[in-house]
């Protein structure tokens, strides 16, 4: 039995005519770059794809000829800050091509860099809205950063200039402050960056070491290089992380979703080192101020106590002086009275003092008998006498 057939080349030729007739003109296509390879000859070969929630739904090979690629590549990088690479969503101007030998492909004539930036920004806004709805944006802010964060887990690429700058800035601080850092290496760009950073965050918790904070360092790059730090999964893990997470990812113009959910964020790794050192400087200044206040308080207390002692000494001295003066005055009065009562003073005034034979002062005539011996004392001498007769006077009747 004879069969109708055509050979393969004719079949491919008819396909070529049919396919290319459907799209005779250039058209713009949105797709994701799933693979890219620039050859030594200058041509660039790509694999473009599209996925949905179920997975890959479309895939096609594409090529940028060297004559176009030498202009497209530098222009795209100058606008986006990043070269064409895997994981990017791009808007490409293509010409449909079907080769009898190589099959179906797309010839790329132009790439719109502004579209790639816009797609990333749209994804970023959707991520922010989702995190806000889930209440994750401010979770990290509720954690308390230790007063002096000392044990720090650092997530960064080990060969990153930003990481080296951070360590050097910490180690060479003029105050001699010391902190302990431990590096947990991770990819800091590309489609694998989020999963790599999440794995590093898990490794920090699995280490069993009690860190005061986790630091994520990148140190700048192009917008598309840093777009991975707008990833929802990584941002959600950071937001719910049990330790304070501090980020230093990009340059001054960059503010990523990971920065928004972090406990603290600064622009550069050196700025983060300054932030850590600033905490120690503030504490040192506080201690110095406290020391000065204590010194001043002790000095003031000393001066007050010294003044009080001087006042007390003056009062004691004044009291003793008054007491001594009073005692001296009393002694003077007593001395005057004693001197006034001295019998010798009486004798000096012309009076005489009579004493019996035993030297006892005779205060009256009673008790004296005739023949008793007595002495009469004068200021200038005494008389030794014998009583011849005693004459007593009658008591006076009032």
Quick one: CA dihedral 227, 233, 239, 244, positive or negative?
negative
What pLDDT score does 357 carry?
82
Tell me how far apart the alpha carbons of residues 382 and 363 are, in angstroms, rounded to a whole number: 17
pLDDT digits (tens, 9 = 90+) for 326-341: 888 888 888 888 777 7
pLDDT at position 126 over 90: no
Tell me how far apart the alpha carbons of residues 311 and 306 are, in angstroms, rounded to a whole number: 8
For residue 330 the two structure tokens come to 């009393």
Can you spell out the DSSP letters for 74-143?
A: HHHHHHHSS-S-TT-EEEEEEEEEEETTTEEEEEEEEE-HHHHHHHHHHHHHHHHHHHHHTT-TTTGGGS
Give Cα 234 distance to the centre of its chain.
Answer: 26
Q: How would you classify the pairing of strands 245-248 and 264-266? A: parallel
What pLDDT score does 224 carry?
63
Q: How would you classify the pairing of strands 264-266 and 27-38? A: unpaired
Tell me how far apart the alpha carbons of residues 80 and 268 are, in angstroms, rounded to a whole number: 20
pLDDT digits (tens, 9 = 90+) for 178-220: 999 999 999 988 788 999 999 999 999 999 999 999 999 987 6
**Residue 393 pLDDT class (50, 70, 90 cuts):** confident
Highest-confidence segment of 81-85, 259-263, 360-364, 376-380: 259-263
Across the beta sheet with 373-378, the strand order is 353-356, 373-378, 381-386
Q: Identify the bridge partners of residue 53 per DSSP, sorted by sequence position.
A: none
What pLDDT score does 223 carry?
65
**Average pLDDT of the chain to the nearest whole number:** 87
Opening angle at CA 192, ends 187 and 196, nearest 5:
50
| Higher pLDDT, residue 156 or 337 | 156
What pLDDT score does 254 carry?
60
Query: Which helix (H) or strand (E) is 356 found in, with range?
Result: strand 353-356
**Residue 397 pLDDT class (50, 70, 90 cuts):** low
Can you spell out the DSSP letters for 15-37?
A: HHHHHHHHS-S-EEEEEEEEEEE
pLDDT at position 251 over 80: no
Average pLDDT over residues 30-56: 91
pLDDT at position 264 over 90: yes
């Amino acid at each position: 039995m004879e069969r109708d057939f055509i050979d393969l080349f004719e079949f491919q030729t008819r396909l070529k005519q049919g396919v290319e007739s459907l799209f005779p003109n250039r058209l713009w296509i949105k797709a994701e770059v799933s693979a890219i390879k620039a050859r030594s000859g200058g041509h660039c070969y790509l694999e473009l794809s599209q996925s949905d929630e179920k997975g890959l739904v479309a895939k096609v090979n594409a090529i940028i000829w060297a004559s176009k690629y030498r202009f497209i590549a530098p222009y795209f990088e100058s606008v986006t800050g990043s070269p064409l690479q895997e994981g990017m969503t791009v808007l490409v101007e293509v010409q449909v091509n079907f080769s009898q030998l190589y099959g179906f492909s797309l010839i790329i004539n132009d790439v719109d860099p502004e579209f790639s930036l816009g797609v990333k920004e749209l994804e970023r806004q959707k991520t922010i809205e989702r995190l806000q709805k889930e209440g994750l944006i401010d979770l990290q802010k509720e954690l308390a950063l230790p007063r002096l964060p000392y044990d720090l887990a650092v997530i960064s690429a080990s060969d990153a200039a930003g990481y080296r700058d951070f360590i050097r800035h910490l180690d060479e601080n003029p105050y001699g402050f010391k902190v302990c850092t431990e590096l947990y290496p991770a990819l800091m760009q590309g489609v694998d960056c989020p999963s790599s950073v999440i794995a590093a965050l898990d490794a920090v918790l699995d280490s069993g070491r009690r860190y005061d904070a986790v630091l994520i360092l990148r140190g700048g790059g192009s917008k598309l290089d840093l777009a991975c730090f707008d990833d929802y999964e990584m941002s959600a893990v950071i937001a719910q992380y049990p330790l304070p997470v501090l980020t230093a990812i990009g340059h001054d113009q960059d503010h990523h979703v990971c920065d928004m959910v972090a406990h603290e964020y600064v622009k550069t790794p050196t700025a983060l080192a300054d932030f850590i050192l600033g905490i120690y400087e503030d504490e040192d200044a506080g201690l110095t101020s406290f020391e000065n206040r204590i010194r001043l308080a002790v000095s003031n207390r000393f001066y007050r106590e010294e003044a009080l002692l001087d006042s007390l000494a003056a009062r004691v001295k004044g009291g003793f002086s008054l007491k001594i003066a009073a005692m001296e005055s009393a002694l003077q009065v007593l001395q005057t009275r004693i001197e006034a009562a001295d019998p010798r003073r009486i004798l000096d005034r012309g009076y005489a003092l009579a004493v019996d034979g035993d030297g006892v002062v005779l205060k009256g005539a009673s008790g004296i008998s005739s023949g008793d011996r007595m002495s009469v004392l004068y200021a200038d001498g005494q008389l030794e006498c014998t009583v011849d007769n005693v004459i007593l006077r009658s008591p006076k009747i009032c």
